[in-house]
Amino acid sequence: MTNIDIATRFFHACEGLEGAEGCKQYVSAGAKFDAQCEPLVEITDVLDYCDWLAGIGKGPLLGCSYVLHCSSYDDSTNTALFFGTFKAKHVADGGPVPVTMKEASSHFVYAVKMNDEGKVIEMTKIWNAPWALSRLGWA
C-alpha cells in the first residue's frame, strides 16, 4: 500500500470519529500535531487530536459529517494534503455553552507527513476555528 493510500485511510478514520483506537494503526508513536486555532493549540499529539475530534463528534456535535473535496501527495516531502468541509450542528450537551441548535459548514486542510514505514509522523490542521465556532454559537 502506498503512503497516500495509508494517509487516506488515516484521514477517513480520523474524520469518521474512530478516535485514537481506530487511528493508531496508521500513526507513529509520538506523532506531532499542530494547529494555529484556539480550541486546538494545546493539542500536540496526533492521536490526542483524533480523540478530541471523536469526543466532540460523538458529543455536542452528534451527527456531524465531512466531505473530502480533494487530496494530493508530494513524494519529495512525503506529505499528503486533504481539503474537506466539516458539517456540524450543536445538538447535545458537552459543548462550551448550552445547546444552540446552530450549524456550521467549515472548510479545513490537513497536511499529513509520512515516514518511510508508511506511518503518520506529523499532522497540521489548517482551519478557521473562530468562524466555525461563531457559526455554532460558541464564540
* 3-class DSSP state of 48: helix
- Does position 4 have pLDDT exceeding 90, yes or no? yes
Class of domain 3-135: alpha beta
Contact assessment for residue 89 and residue 56, using Cβ atoms and an 8 Å cutoff: no
Cell of 93: 450537551
pTM, entire model: 0.96
64 vs 77: CA distance, rounded Å: 32
Query: Span 92-104, mean pLDDT?
Result: 95
pLDDT score of 34: 98
130 vs 122: CA distance, rounded Å: 24
For the chain, the structural domain boundaries read: 3-135
pLDDT score of 38: 87
- Does position 139 have pLDDT exceeding 90, yes or no? no
Contact assessment for residue 34 and residue 123, using Cβ atoms and an 8 Å cutoff: yes
- In this prediction, residue 126 has a pLDDT band, given cuts at 50, 70 and 90, of very high
* 3-class DSSP state of 55: helix
| 37-90 pLDDT per residue, tens | 989 999 999 999 999 999 999 999 999 999 999 999 999 999 999 999 999 999
Which residues are paired to 127 by β-bridges? 108
Contact assessment for residue 50 and residue 14, using Cβ atoms and an 8 Å cutoff: yes
| 9-47 pLDDT per residue, tens | 999 999 999 999 999 999 999 999 999 998 999 999 999
